[in-house]
Amino acid sequence: MTQEINKRTMVQLAAKMGVPITEKQKELALLKFHNIKIVDLLPQMMVMIRSLLSEKDFSYQRRPITIIKSGLLISFQNVFNDKNEDPGVMGPASNLYRERAHVRIVPLHLDSEVKFSKQTHIKQITILVEADYLKQFLGTEKTKFTYLFHLEKTFWIDEFMSPEIAALVDEVVNSSADVSLPEFYFRLKSLELLYLLFKNLSQREAISHQHMTIRDIETIYRVRNAIAASLDKPLPVKELVQLSGINELKLRKLFTQVFGKGLYPYFQHIRMQEAARLLKEERLSVSETGYRLGFTNLSHFGRLFEEHMGTKPKKWSSKT
């Protein structure tokens, strides 16, 4: 019964957003919904919390979201642990694939392909926010983020998940169902999430942003996936250029535009994120982790880890 209620909630939400999915009943049947919660703070914001699993690979084309005339879709992806998760619905955690935790920002008007991968557990907090409302809070600082408000252009931003954001997302997802003053609470927490996100974005490398096509976005993610699949050694730039099918200058510019880091700095960062996961979740030793990720000099590994994660690897692995 809960599954059917969650699916109906999803259909009703999509219709309200202006992207009806009533004709996608076959696809909806492939999704196992553990949790879905909608917080209507319109006309300025809408917040969606959802946890689901796809039984098969499939995708569908999502039309532009029209519930807010001009704004952003900001999705905090795959970071939280749902303390009330029902293994009977989602299946054994050991059989599931989880994507790297990240934050994605796209304009609401973007017509995009939504993909679901088999046995991938999707956990999201998504905030739809009106552009002018967001600008009010940014104040004079909004000039640093003009690229986000040129909504006639297609852009796609992928930002790393900071520990502060991860902790706050976890708090919001696991908040009590009978939280006092719920609209006040979710508006406040959503703005706090946006504050932490824009704090991170303000530290990005300053570059001139250019228009991106859907093909450009697909190209950059193809390169990103190749980098992420070879964390024990960096792939030669020549190989990445060949994979992308575009010239090296354009590749470097677009990659930095989307991910906020150049090719090699990005490689090192996700390498250290994987090191943190191996130390904490798989309980590998510092030496085992370093060697698995291609380090022959463990002192260098330790220094690099501390630079990225703010603490030494041994101390990190001992954290609860």
My answer on whether omega of the bond before 20 falls inside 30° of 0, hence cis, is: no
* Structural domains of the chain sorted by starting position, each given as residue range(s) with its CATH number in brackets: 2-201 (2.60.120), 239-317 (1.10.10.60)
- Two structure tokens written together for 281: 């979740």
Q: What is the mean pLDDT of residues 152-176?
A: 84
* DSSP 8-state class, residue 299: H
The whole-chain average pLDDT of the chain stands at 84
- Two structure tokens written together for 182: 């719920």
pLDDT at 151: 65
* Per-residue pLDDT tens digits for 36-73: 888 899 999 999 988 888 888 777 777 788 888 889 99
Number of neighbouring beta carbons within 10 Å of residue 226: 14
CB 68 within 8 A of CB 146: no
- Two structure tokens written together for 264: 């090699």
Confidence of residue 20 (pLDDT cuts 50, 70, 90): low
Query: H or E element: which one contains 104?
Result: strand 102-107
Q: How far is CA 217 from the centre of its chain?
A: 15
Q: Which of 152-166, 197-211, 226-240 has the lowest mean pLDDT?
A: 152-166
* Per-residue pLDDT tens digits for 222-272: 999 999 999 999 999 999 999 999 999 999 999 999 999 999 999 999 999
Say if residue 96's pLDDT is above 50: no
pLDDT at 11: 66
Confidence of residue 92 (pLDDT cuts 50, 70, 90): very low
Q: Which residue has the higher pLDDT, 172 or 117?
A: 172
Q: How far is CA 283 from the centre of its chain?
A: 25
Query: Residue 107's beta-bridge partner residues?
Result: 72
CB 24 within 8 A of CB 62: no
Q: Is the dihedral of CA 294, 296, 301, 303 positive or negative?
A: negative
Q: Which residue has the higher pLDDT, 53 or 86?
A: 53
**Beta strands at 112-116 and 58-62: parallel, antiparallel or unpaired:** antiparallel
pLDDT at 93: 45
Residue 154, CA distances (Å) to 44, 254, 289 in order = 22, 12, 39
